[in-house]
């Protein structure tokens, strides 16, 4: 990697200030950024670690019953939590133990890898992404592969998840990376069902509205029968064709509904 300065502020305010510097970049758990630096594919002037900020770490239940997860909370911490089993289950299968004990929810959502797991949970739960300046609805936050509503220097301080009645995440892994080739998060709320798909689309995570409508009417795997996503717009690569991914969206959705608890 190229040489860089390193700062580890203790407050959000200090982190925001540090990120105002020239060519400064936020560092969460580093599970994507550090390998990128090692490959010399990024050259930040300063890395600002967000892992020394107590107000950004940890999990609690908010007054409205939503689960509030600090932006610097590791996947392992979320995996060990009990309030939102579908979310904990998703977090428990991200990467391997080393990744889960370093990687953070804020880092994952800020990066918005099209094959990452957390975007499916955030979008599938209708979560609110809280930053140092504002609150962003998940429906507005994800804007395509590696693209989000975040402005330069904006930090995800918290993610607030409404807890559904039942939920589940089913991931079909890409054999090499074990990222999601297709991952589907299904959450059933009193006012309807949300279905979010990661890994599959050239536009990144998306909601499968047709399935949401069918499942809102009948929350059962059979409700998906006959429904399909359009293979156009799906990712096609050496691990699977567009048609294969489109097919898997249906399979994983059914399995998520069947497994939802």
Partner 1 sequence: MPKDSGIGASSKRREDVRFLTGAGNYTDDINVNGQAYVHFLRSDIAHGTINKIDTSAAAAMPGVIKIFTAEDFAAVGGVPCGWQVTDKHGNPMQEPKHPVLAEGKVRYVGEMIAGVVAETAEQARDAAEAIELDIAELPAVVDMKAAVQDGAPKVHDDLPSNLCYDWGFVEENKGAVDEAIANAAHVTTLELVNNRLVANPMEPRVAIGDFARGTGDSTLYTTSQNPHVIRLLMGAFVLGIPEHKLRVIAPDVGGGFGTKIFHYAEEAFVTFAAKAINRAVKWTSSRSEAFISDAHGRDHVTKIDLALDADNNFTAIRTETYANMGAYLSTFAPSVPTWLHGTLMAGNYKTPVIYVNVKAVFTNTVPVDAYRGAGRPEATYQLERLIDKAARELGVDPIALRRQNFVTEFPYETPVAVAYDTGDYNATMDTLEQIADLSGFEARLAESKAKGKLRGLGVNCYIEACGIAPSNLVGQLGARAGLYESATVRVNATGGLVVMTGSHSHGQGHETAFPQVIAEMIGIDESMVEIVHGDTANTPMGMGTYGSRSLAVGGSAMVRATEKIINKTKKIAAHLLEAAEADIELKDGQFSVAGTDKSVAWGDVTLAAYVPHNYPLEDIEPGLEETAFYDPSNFTYPAGAYACEVEVDPDTGKVTIERFSAADDFGNVVNPMIVSGQVHGGIAQGVGQALLEGVVYDENGQLLSASYMDYAMPRADDLPFYAVDHSNGTPCTHNPLGVKGCGEAGAIGSPPAVVNAVVDALQRNGSNVTHIDMPLSPSRVWDAMNS
147 binds partner 1 (CB under 8 A): no
Distance CA 127, CA 123 (A): 6
219 binds partner 1 (CB under 8 A): no
Task: By CB under 8 A, name the one of 59, 248, 249, 257 that touches partner 1.
Answer: 248
40 binds partner 1 (CB under 8 A): yes
Write the burial class of residue 238 (CB in 10 Å: 0-12 exposed, 13-18 middle, 19+ buried). Answer: exposed
* Distance separating the N- and C-terminal Cα atoms of the chain: 45
Please tell me whether residue 94 adopts helix, strand or coil conformation: coil
Q: How far is the CB of 37 from partner 1 (least distance, A)?
A: 12
57 binds partner 1 (CB under 8 A): no
Residue at token pair 């990467």: 95
Q: How far is the CB of 91 from partner 1 (least distance, A)?
A: 19
Distance CA 57, CA 51 (A): 8
Q: Which stretch binds partner 1 (CB under 8 A): 137-145, 155-163, 171-179, 188-196?
A: 171-179
Task: By CB under 8 A, name the one of 11, 143, 177, 209 that touches partner 1.
Answer: 177
Task: Compute the half-sphere exposure of residue 252: CA atoms within 13 Å on the CB side of its CA.
Answer: 28
- Name the nearest CA neighbour of 167 among 104, 245, 90, 81: 90
Q: How far is the CB of 135 from partner 1 (least distance, A)?
A: 34
Q: How far is the CB of 181 from partner 1 (least distance, A)?
A: 8
Contacting residues toward partner 1, per CB under 8 A:
39-40, 172, 175-177, 179, 181, 238-241, 244, 247-248, 251
């Amino acid at each position: 990697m190229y040489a860089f300065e390193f700062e580890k502020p203790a407050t959000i305010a200090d982190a925001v200030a540090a990120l105002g510097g020239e060519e400064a970049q936020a560092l969460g758990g580093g599970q994507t950024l550090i390998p990128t630096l090692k490959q010399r594919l990024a050259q930040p002037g300063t890395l600002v670690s967000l892992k020394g900020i107590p107000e950004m770490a940890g999990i609690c239940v908010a007054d409205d019953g939503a689960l509030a997860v600090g932006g610097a909370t590791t996947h392992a911490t979320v995996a060990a939590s009990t309030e939102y089993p579908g979310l904990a289950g998703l977090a428990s299968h991200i990467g391997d133990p080393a990744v889960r004990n370093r990687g953070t929810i804020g880092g994952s959502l800020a990066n918005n890898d099209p094959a990452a797991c957390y975007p499916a949970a955030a979008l599938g739960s209708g979560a609110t992404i809280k930053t140092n300046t504002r609150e962003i609805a998940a429906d507005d936050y994800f804007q395509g592969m590696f693209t989000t509503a975040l402005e330069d220097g904006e930090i995800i301080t918290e993610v607030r998840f409404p807890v559904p009645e039942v939920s589940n995440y089913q991931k079909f892994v890409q054999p090499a990376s074990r990222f999601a080739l297709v991952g589907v998060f299904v959450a059933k709320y009193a006012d309807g069902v949300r279905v979010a798909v990661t890994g599959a689309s050239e536009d990144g995570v998306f909601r499968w509205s047709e399935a949401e409508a069918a499942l809102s009417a009948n929350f059962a795997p059979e409700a998906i029968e006959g429904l399909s996503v359009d293979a156009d717009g799906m990712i096609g690569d050496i691990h699977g064709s567009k048609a294969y991914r489109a097919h898997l969206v249906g399979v994983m959705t059914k399995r998520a509904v069947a497994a939802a608890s």
